[in-house]
Amino acid sequence: MIPGIDKNLSFLVVLMLAGCTYFNRNDEIVAKVGEKVLTLAQVQEIIPAGLPGEDSMLMSEDFILKWIRNELVMNKAEENLEPFMKDVTKELLNYRNSLIIYRYKNELMKQKMDTVVSFEEIEQYYKDNKGNFKLNRNIVKGVYVKIIQGVYSNSIIRAYCENTSPLGLTEFKDFCVQYAKSFGIYIDTWVEFDVLLNNIPNTIADQEDYLSRNEEIEVTDAGYYYFAFIKDYRLLNEVAPLEYVYPNIRSLILNKRKIEFLKKIEDDIYADGVRNRKFTIYKN
């Protein structure tokens, strides 16, 4: 219970927040600081539906305490600040204007901005800006598996991993679901090499050298056999494959389109203002 809060009042909060019908008045006051009051209805608004009674109690008392502390600090500020420092009319007006403009532009974007980005656009952007898409880490396509030693021969497990045809991947997945402790299939998507290595107890100091000379990783430890097959790779500082940066390029195109769209809105509104003489500039 929060220090300074009446026990009966705290009991009232619990009953109301728990959905008890013993009280019917949501305007019951649970706290007061100066002339400011906090009602049960206000407290109930912040409590998620279905929250257990004890959690509701803790959350409500925490909210009440924060409200009290905030109001006390506010009162102290009101008492000590000079009148001009308490005048926030200009700031509120600026904030209101910014918020309304932001919402207006957002609505226009939802209604009128073209958000369809074709593959051709993305591909062209990629070709024109390849130098901007250098990899900052090694990425691979492949599979890995962690399995209890002796469940199947290592040669059979390797054969499953190395068959990356659609049928082979289906069989590999079915096999892993039955027998593997963990596994991963990254054939249709690029993944950071570190992500794959995190599942295999093997430290590779020079990843670039290893990837250029090996397509398999084979490790054993206490009771487990690990195997990974690397179907393809791209190294640090090489140009990233299009499919790897595809989502980023789409976002870049949309962001550029958004900037141009918003600028056009402002330009059109200004042009309309000039055309219809909606503003006046006074030369003093």
Domain shared by 201 and 145, yes or no: yes
Counting as low any pLDDT under 50, the low residues of the chain are 20-24
Q: Is residue 1 one of the residues assigned to a domain?
A: no
| Residue 38: C-alpha distances to residues 6, 34, 43 (Å) | 14, 11, 8
pLDDT at residue number 23: 46
Domain shared by 124 and 61, yes or no: no
Q: How far apart are the C-alpha atoms of 182 and 226, rounded to whole Å?
A: 10
Q: What does pTM read for this prediction?
A: 0.70
pLDDT at residue number 4: 53
pLDDT at residue number 25: 58
Q: Is residue 256 one of the residues assigned to a domain?
A: yes
Domain shared by 262 and 224, yes or no: no
* Cβ-Cβ contacts under 8 Å for 166 (sequence gap 6 or more): none
Q: Is residue 147 one of the residues assigned to a domain?
A: yes
pLDDT at residue number 22: 44
What stretches of the chain show up as alpha helix (H) in DSSP? 7-17, 40-45, 53-80, 83-86, 89-112, 119-128, 154-162, 166-179, 193-197, 207-213, 242-275
- Tell me the CATH number at 159: 3.10.50
Domain shared by 265 and 227, yes or no: no
Task: Name the one residue in this structure whose structure tokens are 């791209």.
Answer: 234
Domain shared by 49 and 74, yes or no: yes
Domain shared by 56 and 100, yes or no: no
pLDDT at residue number 151: 87
Contact 210, 233 (CB under 8 A): no
Q: Is residue 2 one of the residues assigned to a domain?
A: no
pLDDT at residue number 12: 54
Q: Is residue 113 one of the residues assigned to a domain?
A: yes
Q: Is residue 277 one of the residues assigned to a domain?
A: yes
pLDDT at residue number 21: 43
pLDDT at residue number 15: 54
Domain shared by 130 and 140, yes or no: no
pLDDT digits (tens, 9 = 90+) for 99-139: 999 999 999 999 999 999 999 999 999 999 999 999 999 99
Domain shared by 249 and 108, yes or no: yes
Domain shared by 141 and 226, yes or no: yes
pLDDT at residue number 14: 55
By residue range, what is the domain housing residue 109? 88-134+242-284
> In the listed set 215, 234, 253, which residue is the last one of a domain according to the structure?
234
Contact 12, 40 (CB under 8 A): yes
pLDDT at residue number 55: 83
Number of domains in the chain: 3
Q: Is residue 273 one of the residues assigned to a domain?
A: yes
